[in-house]
Amino acid sequence: MRLRRLATILIMLVNAGWMRAEAKIPQETKNAALRYWMAFAEMQDVTADKPTQELLEKTAASEAAWDEARLAPILDANSDAIQTMQRATKLPECDWGLEYSRGSRASMAYAPRARVLARLNTLEGMRQMVHGDSQSAVNTWLAGMHFSKDLARGGSLIFALVAKSALVPNLRMLAEATGNGQLNEAQKRQVFAAVRALPEDGLDWGSAWGIEFTTVEQFLRELQTAPNSGAAYEAIMGSPAPKQGLPPTAQEIQVYREYMLAVQAALREPPTKARILLDALEAKKGGLGEVEQSMIPNPQKSNAARIEVMTARAKLIQVLAAK
């Protein structure tokens, strides 16, 4: 009898411990990138036809009037993705897990979906404002601003450019709403605090260029030792290999390195000064080999993107100060 009671007590204790263990909820991630990936997976295809793509782009850029009948179903279908993205912007970290060791082969798979999701988020804010919900619209556009910063985090130039395309429309929407008197004082203070926290040109363009530089340099060194450098070039670049410059020499890579570091330094300067410095570097760029030149993005276009962000940010601050 005593043994039976003891066995019963042991079973009850085991069961109680099991129930407590089962009831424990795992700690949620602090990494926003994981949630962004979830949002991408929840997205519905909005690129099926060209007219729809054009409508989304033009409306988000304020080049087309709001069309509730055509846009609302698209936003409703992507509501879960948009909300998942917005919740992710509240997390303190963002690590995309990019495989830098793979150099030019590192995946950029999330860039196209990130661009589309950012546009959908901007449009969601526009719909909220059209329906008179200014607070939700402000929160949505500020989430879009944060998303753009996370998009550029730890990425090469292509990610900075995608982030720019996400950031500028949100800045413009906030400026337009402020100028139209649609924000109350508390909302304007909320917006002002967020925009003042942004760098003047929105993103760290110098770091993005630096990652671009190291990625290409790694590929150039791989070409030096590749059994067939022409085939290796075509596999990565997707275009015919140059007739000269393969494999690249150590001297050619060194000249490339010096040029890219000079561009990186220029992009850390104010855009007006950067434009002058970049113009002065054109002669050095002309001295690069054909292979190296084919892999270098246009630095003046990067500087122009900085100016676009700065202009949109400055206009928003000006409108906020005037109201």
The 10s digit of each residue's pLDDT in 277-298 is: 999 999 999 999 999 999 999 9
* HEC sequence for 208-219: HHHHHHHHHHHH
**Residue for token digits 């059994």?**
227
pLDDT, tens only, 229-270:
999 999 988 899 998 899 999 999 999 999 999 999 999 999
Q: Which of 239, 240, 236 is CA-nearest to residue 220?
A: 236
- Rounded CA-CA distance 265/185 in Å is 40
Q: What is the mean pLDDT of residues 151-160?
A: 92
pLDDT average, residue stretch 107-118: 88
Cα 56 to its chain centre, rounded Å, is 18
Cα within 13 Å of Cα(78), Cβ side: 26
DSSP codes joined into one string, 24-72 = PPPPPP-BHHHHHHHHHHHPPP--SSHHHHHHHHHHHTTSS---HHHHH
CA dist., res. 198 & res. 309, Å (int): 10
Q: Identify the residue with better confidence: 140 or 5.
A: 140
Q: Is 150 within 8 Å of 124 (Cβ atoms)?
A: no
Cβ distance 116 to 178 under 8 Å? no
Amino acid at 30: K
Predicted confidence at residue 18, as pLDDT, reads 47
Structure tokens at 70: 């055509």
* pTM score over 0.85: yes
- Per the CB < 8 A criterion, the answer to whether 171 and 272 are in contact is no
Collapsed DSSP state (helix, strand, coil) of residue 93: strand
Range 108-117 average pLDDT: 89
User: What's the rounded Cα separation, in Å, for the pair 299 and 280?
Assistant: 12
The backbone torsions φ and ψ at residue 265, rounded to the nearest 5 degrees and listed phi first, read -65, -40
Distance CA 202, CA 138 (A): 18
The chain-wide mean pLDDT, for the chain, equals 90
